[in-house]
Amino acid sequence: MSGVNANSLLSPMPRISSSSSSSSSRSNGCKRLSLFSCGVLASSAAVANPSRSSEERVYEVVLKQAALVRELPKRDGETALDWNKTIQNEGISDGNLLDEAYSRCGEVCAEYAKTFYLGTQLMTPERRRAVWAIYVWCRRTDELVDGPNASHITPKALERWEKRLTDLFEGRAYDMYDAALSDTVSKYPVDIQPFKDMIEGMRLDLRKSRYENFDELYLYCYYVAGTVGLMSVPVMGLAPESKASVESVYNAALALGLANQLTNILRDVGEDARRGKVYLPQDELAQAGLCDDDIFRGKVTEKWRSFMKGQIKRARMFFDEAEKGIGELNEASRWPVWASLMLYKQILDSIEANDYDNFTKRAYVGKAKKLLSLPIAFGKAVVAPQISKMW
Ligand SMILES: CC(C)=CCC/C(C)=C/CC/C(C)=C/CC/C(C)=C/COP(=O)(O)OP(=O)(O)O
């Protein structure tokens, strides 16, 4: 494995060329997420933003993605790149440039997301490498604001990153990682919008350090994590026998991204506070009798425990919503999704086990539990559906 590190991922490469108490339904029969339906949460996005809630804005993207999958099942046979024009000086023979580009993505994925990488081994080689390419692009985007060079990141740099994105969607890749993604988006019905939205999330993170209510936080979570779900579904593929609407599968994918991000936020409260950031709804903090100072002080009190219980409950609701959609994915894609869901969900258990001290303790899932999750995920993804087919 060649040494991949965060710096090398971003090193300059040569420029080569609302509130509801139950799920609401839509006319198409697709169930929308009841994002604000957790009983413990008093805030109402509809009240906070009567014109158009974040949930509605994101739902429009979901519908667009779903339509794309229906209309463009697969753009097979196209060649994304003119390799001679786009890639030079990489020291690789033309014949296997694409293979090399993808295998570099695999190396990055293996380095940073070991469990997910392992899970992707069950997927077909084409899907597996496409998932790697998407993962690497997301990782690099995240590194822009979270990585070692983050303090130098400006809106201008994000603008350049977005231009680079549109170029790769049009077949002009700047480096090997871009080349792999460029090939992926030419072969699968992947839309550019979630990618642009992820960059928008980075912009938001640069200028914002407080979230007034869950509606605002929801939009941030969609930008930085829900988008990953939307990018992944077209590549992971739907089960041919699935009777679910495409929208409902996208909703589940979106829910998994949101659940993961909310979990991340709850795990990292102390760490984020030390950077001056509070990714918690201010109105809900106030309703619990808490304020920013309580977070900076970092003392676990009854008020904090009770607040955290509500936040954990909401994150679990999103995980539950996500679980409903996994069975609709192509069978070979289910295992990595179950595995990552189970691992992330256990972080919430670990916060509870730490008696809600997410100020000084980092919740984590131990090796033994991680290892145990893999066969369980395999059982849910592969064995259980086979058994249910037999009955
Ligand atoms: C459920 C269905 C139908 C499909 C699945 C669709 C997928 C793959 C969704 C996954 C979404 C996802 C992985 C979002 C990323 C969320 C997130 C918070 C990642 C954290 O990444 P790191 O920052 O590397 O995490 P650590 O800090 O834990 O290392």
Same domain, 251 and 229: yes
Measured distance CA(60)–CA(145) in Å, rounded: 27
Same domain, 125 and 214: no
For residue 48, tell me if it sits in a domain. no
For residue 85, tell me if it sits in a domain. yes
For residue 316, tell me if it sits in a domain. yes
Pocket test for ligand 1, best of 256, 329, 335, 380 (most atoms within 8 A of CB): 256
Measured distance CA(194)–CA(182) in Å, rounded: 15
Same domain, 360 and 347: yes
For residue 5, tell me if it sits in a domain. no
Ligand 1 atom at minimum distance from 139 CA:
24
Same domain, 243 and 199: yes
pLDDT in tens, 300-309: 999 999 999 9
Q: How many domains does the chain have?
A: 2
Which residue carries 């979990």 as its tokens? 263
For residue 269, tell me if it sits in a domain. yes
- Atom 2 of ligand 1, residue of closest alpha carbon: 253
Residue ending a domain, among 159, 188, 217, is: 188
Residue ending a domain, among 188, 222, 247, is: 188
Same domain, 140 and 256: no
pLDDT in tens, 24-80: 333 333 334 433 333 333 333 333 344 678 999 899 888 888 887 766 544 333 333
For residue 361, tell me if it sits in a domain. yes
For residue 25, tell me if it sits in a domain. no
Same domain, 101 and 240: no
Same domain, 217 and 242: yes
Q: Which domain holds residue 248?
A: 59-70+192-391
pLDDT in tens, 356-380: 999 999 999 998 998 898 889 988 8
Which residue carries 């994150």 as its tokens? 315
Q: Cβ < 6 Å from ligand 1: which residues?
A: 225, 228-229, 232-233, 249, 252-253, 256-257, 260-261, 264, 322, 325-326, 329, 337, 340
The pTM assigned to this predicted structure is 0.84
20, 293, 341, 378, 383 from 298: Cα distances, Å: 32, 8, 28, 39, 45
Asked whether this complex has an ipTM greater than 0.90, the answer is yes
Same domain, 148 and 246: no
The runs of H, that is alpha helices, within the chain are 6-10, 45-48, 54-71, 83-86, 97-112, 114-120, 125-146, 155-169, 176-187, 193-207, 214-221, 227-236, 246-267, 269-274, 282-287, 292-297, 302-326, 331-353, 367-378, 384-390
Residue ending a domain, among 166, 188, 210, is: 188
For residue 379, tell me if it sits in a domain. yes
